[in-house]
Structures are given as structure tokens and as C-alpha cells.
Amino acid sequence: MTWVAHLVRTQDGAVGAELNFSSSTGTWDIPLNGTESWDLTVQRDQLRRTDPEWWFPWRASVLMSWKNSEGVLDPWLLGPITNLPEEDRDDDTAKLPCSGLGELLSRRIVTDRDFSPAEHVALAESSLRRDGLSYGAIAQDIITAVTTNRVGGQLPIAFASPRESGSRLRSREYYGYNVANNDAEKLITALTNVINGPDIMFRPRFTDSSQTFVEWAMVHGTHAQHNIEQTWAMDLDTTSSRSPVSTVSPKTDSGNLVNKVYWTGAGEDEGTLIRMAVNRRQLASGMPLMEGVGSDSDSENPSLIQRRAETAIEVGSAPLQQLTITIDGSDHRSEIGRWRVGDSARVTVGDDWLSLAPGSRMMKIIAAKGRWDETVTLEFQEVLM
């Protein structure tokens, strides 16, 4: 069981040469609904023998796979090399910095079609509008707008979650004049942040058994269930000495507590769009007034601004409670590839914590990080039902 690295051609997912890299240096990090990051160090001579097109920033990507106990490669990270190698002449090594697909999507602007430089007026007057779709389906259309519908936009992305439509679902409109705020990564992240917004992740997978091409599988929650579908749930008993758990650490943050929120949108002075939300039950229980302010200055949608205020109230109703657990990623009960960031797991804790009640509960993996060995650190939050 070990990590395996391959160079990949970004636009079509063609898998290139395997990279021999140092397992003693480099880290990786996967946040839920965020952009992954990692780096690996290789011998410079290996890059000298490789066509630079296969390691040039953005043109080339790196696929990191976990070779599991059965010798099968399980793709784990895929994304572009974001800069030329950082070289160490003394050690004759080169470090390749890599990021997930989100970094590339932040450089794609959402418009309703491909505009030429001469069509600046048409761009300013245009909009991309979607009605009667789930948030996940709207996110799919954002991807289509910046890939299939654009010259040079080709990327190996496959939609791997249901596309939902219906007159009582969601609407979004993205205006051409607002290009400064309409990069694809930002808009997709915004969809995950609204009340009942879905988790959205781009997970690498081989396109077929030959393993000569790889793609990003775009997975997301549905209108009824914002969590990403999973077929297996990890079970971690932090009280057992025979479990794959090595360390446990709870942490809380009460800085998020708020019971009245003001949220502003587009506009100036008295014409500014503003909405409010209040937690009256908390105020009636004796909690002092605690106010917060947020803003989406590019939004002219009153419903969206109201939902953002309500989301802030919901999130601010109780201290954020997380659990950090370090596991053995080579153990079959917690092996890398069997679980993913965004999955829920059953976690059992003892009675030795003041801030965490003992017992078993379902908790969501909101982040994972590690080095190029079998040890993985997971961040958990309780699953909100």
C-alpha cells in the first residue's frame, strides 16, 4: 500500500508518465466544498527526460492515487500544476505545486455564450438564467457554460449525480456586466453556502479499466438531501485501543454565535438591498443580543440575500463543534479510497471530554489532510438532520 503519482494532460485527462517522488516531503489537503492542494518533490533529472508540455503549469496536471491492499489504484487527487517547479540545485530536486479543479475554475468566467472581443456591448447586456432546477443542476450548467460552450474550454468533467428539474425548484441569473464577480468556482461555492445548499465535490476517477484516461466526477447532493450519496460508512471507535484511531481532539468555536443578522446586496446608499433574520427563540431564552453583518454586493436577488441572512442565523445558533481524528489510512476499516471527504461516519467518543457528550453519533468528514504515508488527519462535524 503506497501512493502513486502520474502526470496528466489537463484538457483531455490523458495519463502520462509515472513520477518517482519523495515520500518524506510534501503534504496534501482536501476541504469539503473547497479546492484541494498538494505538492510533491521529484528528481530534476526525471523532468529533464520528460517533454516540458507534460509538466508545464496548467497545461499539465498530477494524479495522485492510493495503491490499496489489493494492488488497485484508487484516484485520490487530480489537478493542475500551478507553477514552474521550485528547484533545489544542491539536492537536484524539483517541487511541483498542485491544486484541485477549483483553482482552474476560478479562471473561468460564467457567461451565457462565448463572446468575441468585439461583442462587449452584447456581453454587458446578456445574462445566463436558469429556472426550475436544483442547486446541483445549476452547478452543472455553470460547468457546461465554462467548458463545453467555450473555445478552448474542454475539460474531462463527468456529471455523476442526478440532474433534477421542476417548477418549484431553484432559480439563478448571472449577468454579463458582472464578470468581475462571476468566476465559476465562486458561483459554485456560493451554491453550497445557501440554506440546504448541496455539497459539491470533483472526485477523480479512471474513465475505464485501461487506466489511460482520468476525469473529474462532479458529485453533489440533491434537492431533498444536501449530502453527497455514499455507499459505505466508516465506523470509528475512539474509545478502543484496537481501532485505527491514533489521536482524538475536540475543538469548539463560539465566535460564530449570532441571533440577529443584516445581509446586504447590490445598490448604493438608501438604495442598497438589505434583508434581516432574527433568532427570537434564543433572545427569549435570555441570550444577549448578538448581531452580525454579511454582504453579497454583486447580488440583486432579494430571495438570495434573505436566505444568506437565514443561513447565518442557523449556523450561529450554537457553537461550532468539530472533532479532529488521526487514523491509519492503510487499515481496511479506514482505508484511503473507501471513504471520501463529504461522507458521514459513525464516531464513538468516551466520557473524558467536557465539550463533547459521550456516545456514538454520525459526523461528516469536512476535511482530510496528510503526507505521503498512511497517516491521515480527519476533521469532523456533527451531521445536521
In a domain, 325, yes or no: yes
Q: How many domains is the chain partitioned into structurally?
A: 3
Q: State CA 119 to chain mean position distance.
A: 34
Q: Which residues constitute the domain of residue 327? A: 235-253+320-382
Same domain, 268 and 377: no
In a domain, 25, yes or no: yes
In a domain, 366, yes or no: yes
Same domain, 239 and 327: yes
In a domain, 35, yes or no: yes
**Which pLDDT score is estimated for 384?**
59
In a domain, 330, yes or no: yes
Residue-wise pLDDT for 221-259, tens only, equals: 999 999 999 999 999 999 999 999 999 999 888 888 999
Same domain, 269 and 374: no
What 251-257 contacts at long range (C-beta under 8 Å, 24+ apart), as own/partner pairs, is: 251/321, 251/322, 251/323, 251/324, 252/319, 252/320, 252/321, 252/322, 252/355, 253/319, 253/320, 253/322, 254/319, 254/320, 256/315, 256/316, 256/319, 256/320, 257/290, 257/316, 257/317, 257/318, 257/319
Residue-wise pLDDT for 14-44, tens only, equals: 999 999 999 999 999 999 999 999 999 999 9
Same domain, 243 and 343: yes
In a domain, 328, yes or no: yes
In a domain, 163, yes or no: no
Same domain, 249 and 264: no
The residue among 315, 334, 350 that closes a domain is 315
| pLDDT greater than 70 at residue 385 | no
Q: Which three cell numbers stand for residue 82?
A: 500551478
Same domain, 279 and 247: no
Q: Which pLDDT band, with edges at 50, 70 and 90, does 108 fall under? A: very high
In a domain, 220, yes or no: no
Same domain, 249 and 287: no
Residue-wise pLDDT for 128-151, tens only, equals: 999 999 999 999 999 999 999 999
Q: What are the C-alpha distances in Å from 56 to residues 36, 50, 52, 112, 214?
A: 19, 11, 6, 30, 18
User: In 100-213, at which residue ranges do the beta strands (DSSP E only) sit?
Assistant: 127-133, 157-159, 170-175, 200-206
